Each structure stands twice: as C-alpha cells, then as structure tokens.
Structure 1
Amino acid sequence: MAETGRKRMNIYESISKCMEEIGAVSKDAVNKQQGFKYRGIDAVMNAINPALVKNHVFIVPEVLEQQRQERTTKNGSVLIYSICRIKYTFFAEDGSCIEAVTVGEGMDSGDKATNKAMAIAFKYACFQVFCIPTEEMKDPDEETPEPVTPQFVPASAEQMHKMGEFVSAYAEMCEDAKESDIWGKLKEKYHFSGTSEISAEMAEKIITQVEVWYKGKKNKIEGA
C-alpha cells in the first residue's frame, strides 16, 4: 500500500538519516599478497543497502576519465593498470541530489582492472559521503599485483624509416632549415639525444608531429 501524507525528504535529510543507520564496517577481508586487513566492497554494499532502500536514496555512477596501461612483471606476465575518475550522484526521492567525485586504481592480469578501479572509487565515495567509521583511512585493493616500471619498447625499423622520410620531405619544403635542424627541434621537444632512445610510443608522436608540420607547410605554399 502506497504511503500517504508523508513529506518527501531532500538529499541532505536522506543522507543524514542514512548516516544514523549505517554502522561501522569492520576490516574483515585480508589482502592476499601483503596480509593486511581492509574493508571489502561487499561489506560496504551490505552495510549501506538497507539504509539506502529505507530512505529512498539511489546512486548513479559516471566515468569522467579513464587511463589504461599495460605493464610487464618480472616473470613476463602482463598486467592491465586502470585509473578511473568517477562522479557519483546521490539522488533523493524528491529529485534533489549531491555529487561526489573520487578516483580508483586497479590492476589485474585479466579483464577486471576497470572493475577493481570502480569498486575502489565507489567505496571511497561512500566512506566520505556517509562518514562510515573506520580505524584508519588506508584502504587498498584485495589483490595488489607487484608494481613494475613500464618496459621500454624501442621504435621499430619501419617507424624509424617513416620518421626519416617525413623529416626529409619536410626539410625539402623548408628554405631555412636542414634535416639536422629538424632533428634538433624534435630532440628538444621530445627529450632524446639519439635514435636509440626513441621508444615505439615516442616514434608515433614524432611521426604525427612531423606530418602536421609537413601538411601545414604544404598548405601554406599551395595557398601562396
């Protein structure tokens, strides 16, 4: 039977009511690699769900920004590293809302890096909005793969050849610059002293940059 004559709470009243009903979440989960205890996402969801339902609050996530990288461990396996910046909007039944933006980081050897990042971001949003009691603020992932420095992948022979062609073609169009001048400009811009220091990723940026210079110069000449 529908409730009648009840005033619909705004988001501030609803959040306050939720805070009264959400108790402390203990650190019962254990990190498999480092052995410390932490509060898992399931414990947080179980703690907040009854209060959210009772006070008619729901939460909508929106990923504002995501960064993904592949990292190789010492034993040669590949880890996916994901960082997500997420906005959580907390709505009350009267339509009022508040927003909280948090950042989550996650690593996984499969397809769960983004899931882990989103879980971390959600936990911290709830911890901070509802002020859920904890013994300490440190709250990492359940699994913490060994962090490694991104592996250097040198530019391929094809990339080096393509860079040389673009630099040569661009130099031919410039009356006041030689190939050595263009390479000098690239070294200053991308911070390398020799071609052996050019990574595959940097090579793509250099190729794109010289192509932009080349097309810009060509359009300028044709329009003159």
Structure 2
Amino acid sequence: MTGTNAAPLTPDDPRRRSLVRKLAEVMGEVERVPKSGRNDFHRYDYATEADIVSAVRKAMADRALMLIPSVVKTEWHEVERSKGGKDRLVTLTVQFTLHDGDSGEEKSFEVLGEGQDQGDKATYKALTGAVKYALLKLFLIPTGDDPEDDGHSPKDLPRRGGAPRARQPSEVAQAVVAGSASARPASQAGGADDDAAAIVAEAEQAATEAECKALGVRARKLPDGPLKKRAAAALQAAAKRLGIETKKPATREPGAEG
C-alpha cells in the first residue's frame, strides 16, 4: 500500500508566508483605481465598489486569502428631506475577517458603512460602502484624488521659507457645525437644496480627509438652517467612518456674559 503524504514545505514555499506578508504583496500589486463611476445629477465622479473589488480579487485569490464580512451592529434613523418626505438612514458596523487558507491565520477589523434611501436599498448601500472602504483602507488604494485639491484658502498655504500651518482633523466638521456669520450663501433656495444634496452624496463617497475638508468649505457657504445641519451631519458621519476625530464647538450658555 503506497502512501500519499504531501511533500514537506520548503523555506521558499508560498504557503509559509504570513498573512501580513501576503497582504503586503497584494498592496504592492494594486495600482491606482480611477473614478469610473459618475453621478450625473450631483455632478461628481467616484470609484465604484466593483472596480475596487476587481483590483484586488485575483491577487487575494492567488494567495488563498478570503475577506468575510459580518454585520455586528445596525442603527436606523429617519431623515427629513428638504423637499418633503423622509429617508431611512442606516449605519452598519461591519466586522471584516481576513482568512489565510494556507496557514489558517486570521485577522479582524471593523468598518462603518452608511446608506440612505426612501425605499429598501439603504442597507445594501451601507454594506456596499463598508466593503468599498474596507478594501480601500486595508490596501491603501489611491483613487485618483488630488491631495492638493482640498479647498484650502491661500492663507493655509506655506509662507516662503516656512512650513504650512498644521490643521487638525476636527476643523472640518467643527467649522460646518459652527457655521459662519460671514459665509456667503451658496445659492438661492432651489440651488441650495441641490448643493446640500450634492454635499451629502459626496460625503457618503468621501475616501480621504482632504475630500472632507473640501466639502466642509462648500458646506459653510450654505444658508443657515436645516440644509446646513444636514450637510454637517453627513460630514460628521463621513469623518466618523474615516476615523477622523471630530468634536462640536463649545456653545455659550443662555444668559452668559461674553
């Protein structure tokens, strides 16, 4: 009777590589993912989940790597629409577990995903967003964003012979929540609705702190009221999803002397 014992693993056998080593190899193979998606109504481009999955799928499969999502927390909220009616907003906390099919090694991490819809698609949007950003951040995939196009004003640029002013991550959401008495309205009533909707939609797709800052500059120009609050909430959610520390500005107590 002949045996069928497998040959012992050699030092160079790919199955000896650690999970982190395999992930680093995938990262090294993935090139920039362009923004092939287009939202014609709100006039912005975005990298689709399908493009991002396609960029890493074969490289992960070749190394026997699996990424399995599991929803661990679900939060529902109702959101008033500026033109009447309500949307359903869901926030999912999704745990992703990386499995190495060769070694059995596992690593887990959590990502937030948000989706908003009038019908029954909010959950699917949230899960799609969570998968998209899990892959983007896990493999540090660039999506074609210009890191200098972040809405900075000239005063934020470095002076000759000096370093640029350090900006704290909390400035974006804080500036929007606080509002600005001198901010110029973005447009009249109808246009402001469209501007706010565009900011909310782009905040859901934002993948970098620079994008959030640029959206914050646009949101400050909205007229005070529900539209600005809605944009601020969307930016705070984006900052939370991306792990950007945010805090609300201090408010003066009624009757306090200034």
Interval containing the TM-score (normalised by the shorter chain): 0.5 to 0.7
Could you give the per-residue CA deviations for residues 10-39 of structure 1, whole angstroms, max 9, x where no partner exists? 211210121122221101111243211111
Aligned to 2:124: 115
State yes or no: 1:27 paired with 2:35. Answer: yes
Gaps spanning 5+ residues in structure 2: where? 1-5, 148-201, 207-225, 231-258
Counterparts of 2:228 and 2:123 in 1: how far apart (Å)? 18
Match of 1:133 in 2: 142
Q: CA deviation at 1:87?
A: 1.4
| DSSP 3-state at the match of 2:109 | strand
**Are 1:44 and 2:52 an aligned pair?**
yes
Q: Tell me, which stretches of 5 or more residues in structure 1 are unaligned?
A: 151-224
How far 1:140 moved relative to its partner?
A: 3.2
Structure with greater helix share of residues? 1
What TM-score, normalized to structure 1? 0.57
Which residue does the alignment assign to 2:234?
none
State the TM-score, normalizing by the size of structure 2.
0.50
The root-mean-square deviation of aligned C-alpha atoms, in Å, is 2.8
1:59 alignment partner AA: L
Are the structure 2 counterparts of residues 32 and 85 from structure 1 closer, same or farther at C-alpha, using a change threshold of 3 Å? Answer: farther
Q: After the TM superposition, which residues 1-224 of structure 1 pair with which residues of structure 2 at under 5 Å, given as runs? A: 5=9, 6-8=13-15, 9-93=17-101, 94-136=103-145, 140-141=204-205
Higher relative contact order (CA 8 A, sep 6+): 1
Distance change >3 Å, CA 82–CA 32, structure 1 → 2? farther
For 1:139 and 1:71, the matched residues in 2 are separated by: 16
1:71 Cα shift?
2.6
Deviation of 1:72 after TM superposition, in Å, equals 3.4
Summarize the Cα distance change of 1:33–1:140 in structure 2 as closer, same or farther, 3 Å threshold: farther
Distance 2:203 2:54 in 1: 17
Which of 1 and 2 has greater Rg?
1
Instruction: Name the count of aligned residue pairs.
Output: 145
The answer (yes or no) to whether the contact 1:104–1:120 under 8 Å persists in 2 is yes
> How many percent identity over aligned positions?
23
Counterpart amino acid of 1:122?
V
- Structure 2 SS opposite 1:140: helix
Q: Give the aligned residue type for 2:86.
A: V
